Each structure stands twice: as C-alpha cells, then as structure tokens.
Chain A
Amino acid sequence: MSGGIEIPVRVTQVTPVAHRIKRFRFERLDGGPMPYFSGGAHIIVSMNDNGHVRRNAYSLMSPPYDCSAYEISVLHVEDSRGGSSFMHEKVREGDEMRVSHPVNLFQPDWRGRKHLLIAGGIGITPFIAMMEQFSREGAHFELHYAVRTRDRGAYCEDLVARYGPHRVKIYCDAEDNRIPVARLLDSQPLGTHLYVCGPAGMIDGVLKAGLEAGWPEQNLHSERFLSSQPGKPFSIELTRSGKTIHVGHHESMLEAIEAAGIDVPFLCRGGACGQCETMVTVCDGKLLHNDVYLSDEEKASGRKVMLCVSRFEGNALHLDL
C-alpha cells in the first residue's frame, strides 16, 4: 500500500478512559522498537473487518521518546460508519493489527517562545505527546482544554496532576465554563504560537479570533480530524488504468479506488497532507472539495481533487490515474 511500509503490531492493552473513549497500546510483533516520532504526529491504523479494510488516522499520544509502544485514544463517534466502532467493539487485547509509520502534519514551531495549546474534546490527543516533549525540552507552554462534561473529558485529572493547574486549565460546557479565547489572545507574550485541535467550529472560531486579535497567520496552527463524509454515490473513470469505479454512499474515492486494487499515495486520509492530490481530466458536474489542502483558487479551477475526503455530484468525472 502507498502510505509507506506498515508495521505489524499486537494490541497489548485496551483501556477505557472516558465516556466513549478508549486507549489502545500497540507493540511490534517482532518485539523491536517502534520508530521515534515527534509530538503532533499521527499513524494510520488499518482495520481488517472481515476482509473489508478500513484505514483511519489517529494521533499518537504516548511519549515521543518512548519506542517500546505506540498509544492512541479513540473516540467512538456517533453514527460511525465503521472505523471507530470497529476499534471499540471488535478490537481486543492480543489482536494483531497493522499501523503505518508516523507522519507529523501538526509540528510545533520550536522557534516559538511560548506554546499556547487549545483543545476541544478528543482533539486533546496530539497535545498529550506534544506536552511531554515541551516539558522534556523545558519549553514554555499552556493548555486550555474544553470538554462537554467531566465524564467525557479524557485525561483531565491526569494532565492537571502532571503539569499543574497553572499550565493546564479545564473548561466544562456543562458547568458553563468556556475558554476565554479573546482574553487569552490579548495577553500572550511576543513569540507565542497557538495550536488548536478539536471540533471544526472551534478551530474556525479560534483561528478567526486569532487573526482579529492581530496575530500573524504564521503563529496560528491547527489540526482537523477530518474524515470522508458520506454522500450520494457516483462513478469515476480512471483514464490511465482504463477502469470505471463506483463510489458508494459511505465510501471515499480513495477507499473505492483502493478496493479496486489500485495503489494511490496517501499520508493522512484527512484532507490535510496533499499526498492524494489527483489531476481531474474531465469534470461534468460539481466537485465537493472537503479538504483543507488545496487553495481556494485550486478548488475553483476544478483541475485537482483530494481523493481521501472530497466527493462529486454530476454526470462524469475522469481522473488521471
């Protein structure tokens, strides 16, 4: 497969951590060390559900310098099409799985004087590894973590205990406690970088508030846990391989093309890395661009599409594959 060489692993621990959130620990089958990674990195977990392969991205949350294992935390999303349900319902301690090498699309800017982390819900995961690294390097950081209710908030107490209440602040929707974003933005020393990960609305709001507070875009970073959204089924012609592919309601183009035995490069499967960019040769209809990689001009041009998250509605779509 084209996400790089996969590492065969064993699930050595499954731990419930909060409402609908479980942590999974993966160790290499051959007992060797896992590759080092950097805080903010994710892996692609391949799930073999009775021959049907699903691949989802999950942020690594174990300490980056600990190569004895990788750990991820998975939220069981409501009406999951499969991936997170599979992890929650089917995966057991002792199972064998495959994971990709780590990829980091959410790298902290190490030149920063201070790192301001803003997490919402399961968006906490990349920050757990980042904070390990910040604290080891003596970097100045602060986490502001919003959860809907206490029982849904993963790792709240652990993080406060580990880094202290001066560095970790928890905000709980149910207690009517919100992150004071505007006030935070106004009081940061020069050289601060902001990182936000959480629900789309939160990310959009924080980035917009940042620009409004006069922050340069270079200091604002985000990671979206995008996944392919369901939509109307459609067909695509692959001009180079001469195949016609049907993309089902719940499938992404990438998944349908892979299922037809064609290898396409990918790294994030979440519309962020740019690996799956594909040239459009014919488009009679409308491309539904769901990625955050292509520029607005590129999206409008209709010449390129990201296979992992985007869809199509119309008569004919031909791709240069």
Chain B
Amino acid sequence: MLVEGIKSRPVYKGLSIQPRSRRHIFALEGEGAHALLERKAELDDAALSRSEILYVARGSQAKGYDEALRELGAQMFFAGPTIATLLFRLKGTLATAHMGTRLYIAGTEGFIGQAMMVALDHGMDHASIVTEHRGSLARRVQCVHCKGITEDVTHSPFPCSHCGLPLLVRDHYSRRLGAFQGVNIDAEEPGSAPDPEELFL
C-alpha cells in the first residue's frame, strides 16, 4: 500500500561525471561502489588526481569493494567502518572545499538522504549533487507522530521502531530530514491496519 504521485519523491539520475569540476568527491555505500566502478572509462588520470573516494560497505549484505575502489587510483581513498564515520569524514572534506567541487552520492536511498543532508548543510544546492540509487530499495522513514527515524524499512505498513504505531510509508520525502514520512494507518480504528506488504526490498 503506497500513496503514489507525490512530487517530493527524489529522482536519482545516475552518476554522470562532470568533466569541468575542479574536484570530485564520491560518497559510496555498498552496491553504490558499482555506480563508480562501471564508469571507470570516464575517469582519466586528470580526473582521478582530483578525486576523493569515501566508501562504506553495507551492513550485513557487506561485500567489500574496498580493493576494487582503491585500485582506481584516486588521489584519496577512505573506507569507513560505518555510515556515521563516512559522514563525519565527508563533513571535514566539505568544510574546506571550494566552488568547482562536485559531490556524487551512490547507494541506498537512506544513505543518499543522509549524505545529502551533510551537503545541504554546507550550502550545496541539492540539484547540483549527482546521485545514483544502488542496492536495496529499503527506505529511511520518519514517524510523523513521535519523530523517530527507522532505517531500512522494507514493508508498509510497518511498526514504528520508536513508538510502535503501525505506519503507512508515503512517497512524501523530506530533504531536510533525508527521510520518507510514515503516517499512522489505523488511527480511527486501532488494530485495523492491513497486512504489511513488502514494497521496498
């Protein structure tokens, strides 16, 4: 069960390399590594000498792409143990960056949303950030009632991991929170929630 046709649903256009950029920063999560590895041909030495790759393997489905990414030969390569460490590193990089820097983000929507929040925080325009969705369709969802965020939501409705209310996952996306909105589905008649459907695997 999904409410469709909501305009705030982000569109991920794919990791096209911007040739005129003075600096390329790639923030990659899990399968997102493929988005860059498949574009190896577009990355000449000049581009690589201006590139910084930040990578985090993805949780339990982890298949490490560390080596393959390292072998690309970017000026800087960093593999973080968790998304939080990668984001911390990204903040450091952006804090001293100049205009002419492009940020590329690839991975699950939850990861793209969180990296995007860091970028917006540093004054980047969301439309200028290059994104590609790779890997699971799992969503990061904010409960509109208790404001708690649940990561990796694959079903709708699902029980909020904070307050327990059954939440319908909407396409309504908040850029500020980097999360979809989850709304209680059985408010009128508690207990009447439909069976969860697996929608975002």
Contacts and interface: CB of A to CB of B under 8 A. Distances in A.
Interface of A: 109, 111-114, 185-192, 211-219
Given A186-B98, A188-B98, A214 B18 contact: yes
Contacts of A112: 123
A211 B19 CA distance: 10
Given A189-B98, A217-B128, 5 more contacts: A186-B98, A186-B100, A190-B122, A214-B18, A216-B102
A212 B125 CA distance: 18
Contacts of A214: 18, 20-23, 99-102
B123 A185 contact: no
Interface of A is mostly: loop
Of the candidates B97, B98, B122, the one having the most CB atoms from chain A within 10 angstroms of its own CB is: B98
26 contacts: A109-B125, A111-B120, A113-B123, A185-B99, A186-B98, A186-B100, A189-B98, A190-B94, A190-B99, A190-B101, A190-B123, A190-B124, A191-B122, A191-B123, A213-B99, A214-B18, A214-B20, A214-B21, A214-B23, A214-B102, A215-B99, A215-B100, A216-B102, A216-B127, A217-B128, A218-B127
Contacts, number: 62
A245 B98 CA distance: 54
A137 to B, nearest CB: 15
Interface of B is mostly: loop
A213 B18 CA distance: 11
B5 to A, nearest CB: 25
A111 B125 contact: yes
A217 B129 CA distance: 11
Of the candidates A113, A185, A187, A190, the one having the most CB atoms from chain B within 10 angstroms of its own CB is: A190
A123 B139 CA distance: 48
B125 A216 contact: yes
A111 B176 CA distance: 13
A191 B119 CA distance: 9
Of the candidates A114, A189, A213, A216, the one having the most CB atoms from chain B within 10 angstroms of its own CB is: A216
B20 A218 contact: no
A109 B101 CA distance: 19
Nearest to A219: B125
